[in-house]
Homo-oligomer: A and B are copies of this chain.
Amino acid sequence: MDKKNTLKIIKIGGNVIDDAQALSLFLYIFSLIEGPKILVHGGGKSATALAEQTGLEVKMIDGRRITDAATLELITMVYAGKINKTIIAQLQALDCNAVGFTGADGNTITSEKRPVSTIDYGFVGDVKLVETSTLELLLNNNISPVFCAITHDKNGQLLNTNADTIASELAIAFAVQFEVELYYCFEKKGVLKDVNDDNSVIQTITKSSYKKLLDAQLIFSGMLPKLNNCFHALDHEVSKVCIGTPEMLLDSKAIFTTLTIQ
């Protein structure tokens, strides 16, 4: 199959979600991108703030949030309600037509509740199946799907799912018919050689240079799952993965990290 069309899948997180001005700037940039595009957003700090307000205890094990029933309800409200609809309304104001999605909408992303081993993560889902047909309908009509980090198990249960993973699994599913470019946008300029020096961006990482960086323990631990996600996508026909600030989407002179197989 001839993959002529490029599809851009862009994930935003960190400060780009938490800071209203940074979010507005990002959405302006997103609205200017030509061609089919999908946005995936993380949850930012709003969920924790609402949890505190309602007196809900945030349970963390090894730095990971445990999603009990009350936490799932709360993040469904914050991610699919507050954040997703604020983004959709702002995109419409920019004449960028968009529709909000969880994985349950259009039965787009089915997950499996993570099995309980040493840790019971609660209502957390690992992606099992991505169904692209509804999304293609919209993309073909110049409408951008906007995903929050919630999926379902097809048996009526919503599940909390990592936003980076949602972005990479969407990218892999669409790589069959599109030339897919995957962009992870946050407040840093990319993968840093020195975590304390924002200007130490590693501009290109190949699979072999990634192994060398890992061996030399030069990858900051918080970046590891993100990079593994990226190479997982590249291993499954995704053309290009980039990590950096939103500016990388428009400014040809912007400095950011590009990951490639070779």
Q: Which A residues have a C-beta under 8 Å from some C-beta of B?
A: 50, 53-55, 73, 76-82, 84-86, 88-90, 92-93, 97-102, 104-107, 133-134, 137-138, 141, 143, 150, 152, 154-158
Q: Using Cβ atoms and an 8 Å threshold, which residues of chain B touch A55? A: 53
Q: Using Cβ atoms and an 8 Å threshold, which residues of chain B touch A93? A: 154-156
Shortest A6–chain B CB gap in Å is 22
Q: Report the 3 A-B pairs with minimum CB-CB distance, sorted nearest first.
A: A81-B81, A77-B77, A93-B156
Given A134-B141, A143-B134, A152–B89 Cβ distance below 8 Å?
Answer: yes
Given A84-B80, A99-B105, A89–B138 Cβ distance below 8 Å?
Answer: no
Tell me if A134 and B99 are in contact (CB < 8 A): yes
Q: Using Cβ atoms and an 8 Å threshold, which residues of chain B touch A54? A: 50, 53-54
Query: In the assembly, what is the distance between CA of A150 and CA of B73, in Å?
Result: 19
Tell me if B77 and A82 are in contact (CB < 8 A): yes
Query: In the assembly, what is the distance between CA of A107 and CA of B88, in Å?
Result: 9
Shortest A76–chain B CB gap in Å is 5
- Closest B residue to A106 by beta carbon equals B99
Tell me if A85 and B138 are in contact (CB < 8 A): no
* Beyond A80-B100, A92-B104, 10 extra complex contacts between A and B, CB < 8 Å: A50-B77, A53-B55, A77-B82, A85-B105, A89-B104, A93-B154, A99-B106, A106-B143, A134-B141, A134-B143
Q: Using Cβ atoms and an 8 Å threshold, which residues of chain B touch A106? A: 97-99, 143
Tell me if B89 and A158 are in contact (CB < 8 A): yes
Given A92-B107, A152-B92, A158–B102 Cβ distance below 8 Å?
Answer: no
Query: In the assembly, what is the distance between CA of A55 and CA of B50, in Å?
Result: 12
Tell me if A89 and B137 are in contact (CB < 8 A): no
Query: In the assembly, what is the distance between CA of A90 and CA of B150, in Å?
Result: 14
Tell me if A82 and B81 are in contact (CB < 8 A): yes
